[in-house]
Structure 1
Amino acid sequence: MNFLFIFLLSLILTGVLRRYALHKNVMDLPNARSSHSVPTPRGGGLAVVISFSLALAALCFYSQVPLLLGSGLLGAGILVALIGFLDDHGHVNARWRLLVHGVSAIAVVWVSNGLPPLELFGKVIDFGLIGWVLATIAVIWLLNLYNFMDGIDGIAGFEALSACLCVAFLAIEVNAQQWLVDLHFYMAAAVAGFLLWNHPPARIFMGDAGSGFIGFILACFALLSSWQNADLLWCWLIMLGVFIVDATYTLIVRLYRKKPFYQAHRSHAYQHSAQIFGKHWKVSYMVLLINLFWLLPWSWLVVKYAVDGAVALTLAYIPLIYVAHYYGAGRDKS
């Protein structure tokens, strides 16, 4: 399937979904917890879900992706998108969302066979059954943190687009299987079509269906990549560093300050910085620049020059942790 076709399909579908949202009054209304100031249609991320799912289904149909792996990824991803879609149209209890996320994560970890042995600071560790548990928790966390980080115009789209393209070229460098590389490019194409509508100032928001689905698929990419070449797992963790660090640091601080972790808030570092700079595009583009000029070079060192992945990730994350602290991640501001 042509990448241009997926891009155009996503672009057109996003426009259709915007008209649907306006007609059905599926709007994201400004409130004390939000970072936007005008009512905006939501649910545009469904275009990414449909476009990427169609591409994955085509690869499965033509036997380019292992059938069990592809069908497991497709089914679990659609399940995540479905619970997000229902939440976009009416509140779904957190326990049901978590149940669906857990089932989907377990399914994809099972079809991908958990975690491979990984080198940590020079020592190879076979995690065994613990690796399955860690992988499941990681998939659930990345799925949810992606939703948390989708709070200003363009940021989630820029993150997915840059990460997918960068890791795709790194995967080519290590001779990963073509179907995995193609999936990275298909996701990038689907996100790019949506991003033209979501670019600051956004004309439509992604919604839980889109953000949850994208976070889930990126987590699956990381897991699948680890079996092709363990270095690619480190590359994924590094490339998603801005989102992982901001969301995780924010959660830890809020737990320490005895704030309800499940309650909606506006205390992520990216949200505070958007308030300070006054423009969403400045923060979203800063994330893009960090990915390209700070995180990509570290990923390249891991793949090209055999730098220990754990060491590279630690060094890449240290400035990100400082930035999260500097911008008051986890602390409520008036």
Structure 2
Amino acid sequence: MTIFYYLFLVAGAFLAGWVTSFAVRRAALRLGLVQVPNARSSHSIPTPQGGGIAIAAVSLAGALIASTTDSGFLAIAALTAVVAAFGLADDILDLPAPLRFPVQGLVLWALLAWVGPLPDISLPLGLTIGGWGLPVLVWFGALWWLNLFNFMDGIDGIAASETVIILLGGLIIAVSVHPPMLATPMALLALITAAGTAGFLVMNWAPARIFMGDAGSNTLAVLILAIALNTVQHGLVGYPSWLILMSPFVADATVALLRRTARGELPWRAHRRHAYQQLARQWSHARVTLLYAGFTGLVALPMAAVAQYRPMASWWLVGLIYALLVVFMVWAGSGSAAERSRE
């Protein structure tokens, strides 16, 4: 594959994501895809959603293109279609959690089966996680990632911008470890997904003209997992590096969940008290999104690269970045008892 082929596909994916998002926005009212402000919302006026259809369509096309080289990617295409369709149904019908969780669990087990055996997790002090406990642990982590990604898609541009940085960051590390990786179907899928998401981001940047909805957030969460676990399995990017790249989203959502649960609040009850939501009421959506994106690109990505090349220090770096983020999230009001007032 030549560089021109890659540039053509990336440019096409960006344009497709942008144009399809615009088309979905035009059809949102007819399709019943308008988000009315609720207890979770950080916006105050009804806004078209379902822009995730554009992301899913581009990513599905990417998986199908990848499958021309490796037929195994037909499974990723199928999972993408299932997750996007279920997410779209949730956008329209607001499906109950007892229905969502079993479907999510089955999708993630199917994803783990597609990835295949994963390497053991080697922790400091000689501790190792392997055997049957490893896939169970990864499955629970994947289930939390899928749901927290949805929770974190709450202000203009934040989920889309994080997706682009996480995917490109992981790809940069993988290619630095093994340059031929850039010519693999997985790299192609990562590039097309990032480009399509960037095209959607044009319509989703503050002030957002359309939201991605569950059709987009669920699709992106699963695809990030697929790409991350594939690189882990092939020894290109380790668990610590991916945990560092994902750290702003994981830290914010987890701190909010733990603090709310400790006060006896129901974990699944809608709220607007993640750190990014608290900050957005005092600053602006664009400023908070840039803060998270800047941290991921300028702090988390370099630390993830160091973790990859200095495995002896990798888990200590994970601990360091999460400790710093926990302090920040608590300071910013993640999971606090009350919403911060607007300035």
Deviates more, 1:303-312 or 1:282-291: 303-312
* Cα displacement string for residues 44-99 of structure 1 (whole angstroms, at most 9, x for unaligned residues): 01101010111111111x22x3x33x233222232222111001111212111111
The equivalent position to 2:292 in structure 1, one of 273, 287, 294, is: 287
Please name the residue that 1:55 is paired with: 62
- Partners in 2 of 1:329 and 1:25 — Cα distance? 32
Change (3 A) 1:169 1:22: same
What is the deviation of 1:164? 0.9
Q: How many residues align?
A: 329
Match of 1:118 in 2: 121
SS of the residue aligned with 1:202?
Answer: coil
Equivalent residues of 2:170, 2:237 under 8 A apart: no
For residues 139 and 71 of structure 1, what CA distance do their matches in structure 2 show? 21
Q: Which residue of 2 aligns with 1:46?
A: 53
2:40 equivalent in structure 1: 33
Per-residue CA deviation, residues 24-58 of structure 1 (Å, 9 max, x unaligned), is 45211123431111211000011010101111111
Please list, as runs of the form range in 1=range in 2, the aligned pairs for 1:233-244 lying within 5 A after superposition: 233-244=239-250
Counterpart mapping for 1:8-27 below 5 A: 8-27=15-34
Shift in CA distance, 309/158, structure 1 to aligned 2, threshold 3 Å: same
Which residue matches 1:317? 322
Contact 1:119 1:308 in 2 (8 A): no
The 2-side partners of 1:113 and 1:298 are apart by: 27
Q: Unaligned stretches of 5+ in structure 2?
A: none
Pick aligned residue for 2:193 from 187, 194, 215: 187
Secondary structure in 1 matching 2:238: helix
Q: Which residue does the alignment assign to 2:232?
A: 226
- Give me the whole-angstrom Cα distance separating, in 2, the residues matched to 1:122 and 1:166: 29
Q: Secondary structure, in 3 states, of the residue corresponding to 2:122? A: strand
Match of 2:219 among 210, 213, 230: 213
State the match for 1:303 in structure 2.
Answer: 308
Is 279-288 or 178-187 further displaced after alignment?
178-187
Offset of 1:197 from its aligned partner?
Answer: 0.3
2:176 matched residue in structure 1? 173
Secondary structure of 1:308's counterpart equals helix
The answer on whether the counterparts of 1:115 and 1:135 sit within 8 Å (CA) in structure 2 is: no
Does residue 148 of structure 2 align to residue 145 of structure 1? yes
Q: Unmatched 5+ residue regions in structure 1? A: none
What is the percent sequence identity of the aligned residues? 31
The letter of the residue matching 1:98 is F
Aligned partners of 1:167 and 1:232 also within 8 Å = no
Task: Give the structure-1-normalised TM-score.
Answer: 0.94
Cα distance, 1:46–1:219 mapped onto 2, change above 3 Å: same
- Write the deviation string for residues 175-210 of structure 1: whole angstroms up to 9, x where unpaired: 173222222211110110100000111000010110
Alignment of 1:263 onto 2:279: no
Structure 1 residue 22, shift from structure 2 partner: 3.3
Mean alpha-carbon deviation: is it higher for 149-158 or for 123-132?
Answer: 123-132
Of the structure 1 ranges 21-30 and 247-256, higher mean CA displacement relative to structure 2 is found in: 21-30
The amino acid that maps onto 1:234 is P
Q: Which runs of 4+ in 1 moved over 6 A?
A: none
- Give per-residue Cα distances to partners, 1:143-185, cap 9 Å, x unaligned: 1110000000000011001111111111101117322222221
TM-score (ref. length: structure 2): 0.91
SS in 2 for 1:310: helix
